[in-house]
Amino acid sequence: MNYQKATFLLSVANLHQLPPDAGVEIAIIGRSNAGKSSVLNQLTKNNSLARVSKTPGRTQHINLFGLDEKHRIADLPGYGYAKVPPNMKKHWQTLINTYLYERQCLHGLILVMDIRHPLKDFDLQMLEWANASELAVHILLNKSDKLTPNQQRKTLSLVSEAISEYGTPFSVQLFSAVKGQGLDELKSALAPWWKKSAS
């Protein structure tokens, strides 16, 4: 997959604005400020593609990026930013939940965690749900550059152990969207998802 060909398609606040449910979509999900947009920028080597915000919770829509006619990446709104008004939080929740439940072309989730705060409630809920739905999840322990190699290894084995409890085969790796650490490993993890038959 040539990620550098990614182009911004559209930003949707309501699901009926999404393009037809065909081809293959992979979604990037995670808590607010975990680095979802930065991961997308690193993957596509395009720093202006997804808006990277220093103010958490700024990506309020589902932003869709096209790799080619049939393959898309969805940058989902961050979850768990406390300062968001409750009615807006509710809207996001409904948006994400409905997208996850109804989007047939969704073939996998990239779950981004800040390596310093792994497996928070939201992350566990996502894993539970994905497990029940038999949806593939690849976890990025992002911002690895903030920890020593030894601390990185410890968190990696902790999370590896936690996900081995699930029936659905989830995977996890170290990543740094800023440094580009783990980029090849990420691409290898995603490759089989793109090949799943586009229904």
Ligand X SMILES: Nc1nc2c(ncn2[C@@H]2O[C@H](COP(=O)(O)OP(=O)(O)OP(=O)(O)O)[C@@H](O)[C@H]2O)c(=O)[nH]1
Among 6, 18, 59, 65, binds ligand X (CB under 6 A): 59
Candidates 59-67, 90-98, 118-126, 134-142 — which segment interacts with Mg ion by CB under 5 A? 59-67
Which of 78, 108, 118, 182 binds ligand X (CB under 6 A)? It is 78
Q: In 3D, which of 35, 46, 121, 115 has the Cα closest to residue 78?
A: 35
Handedness of CA 52, 159, 185, 19 (dihedral sign): negative
Minimum distance of Mg ion from residue 44's CB (angstroms) = 14
The span of 4-12, 13-21, 50-58, 123-131 binding ligand X (CB under 6 A) equals 50-58
Please answer whether residues 35 and 143 qualify as being in contact, where contact means their C-beta atoms are separated by less than 8 angstroms. Answer: yes
* One residue of 23, 24, 57, 67 binding ligand X per CB under 6 A: 57
Among 46, 53, 160, 168, binds ligand X (CB under 6 A): 53
Which x/- pattern, by CB under 5 A, does the window 12-41 give for Mg ion? ------------------------xx----
* First-to-last C-alpha distance (Å) of the chain: 19
Between residues 138 and 152, which has the closer beta carbon with respect to Mg ion? 138
Binder to Mg ion among 59, 142, 155, 181 (CB under 5 A)?
59
Report the residue closest to ligand X, judged by CB. 78
CB of 143 to ligand X, least distance (A): 4
Residue 159 and residue 65: Cα distance in Å, rounded?
Answer: 29
Check binding of 56 to ligand X (CB under 6 A).
yes
Strands 7-12 and 24-30: unpaired
Q: Does 54 bind ligand X (CB under 6 A)?
A: yes
Task: Please give the residues from 124 up to 143 whose contact with ligand X meets the rule CB under 6 A.
Answer: 142-143
Which residues of this protein are in contact with Mg ion, per CB under 5 A? 36-37, 59
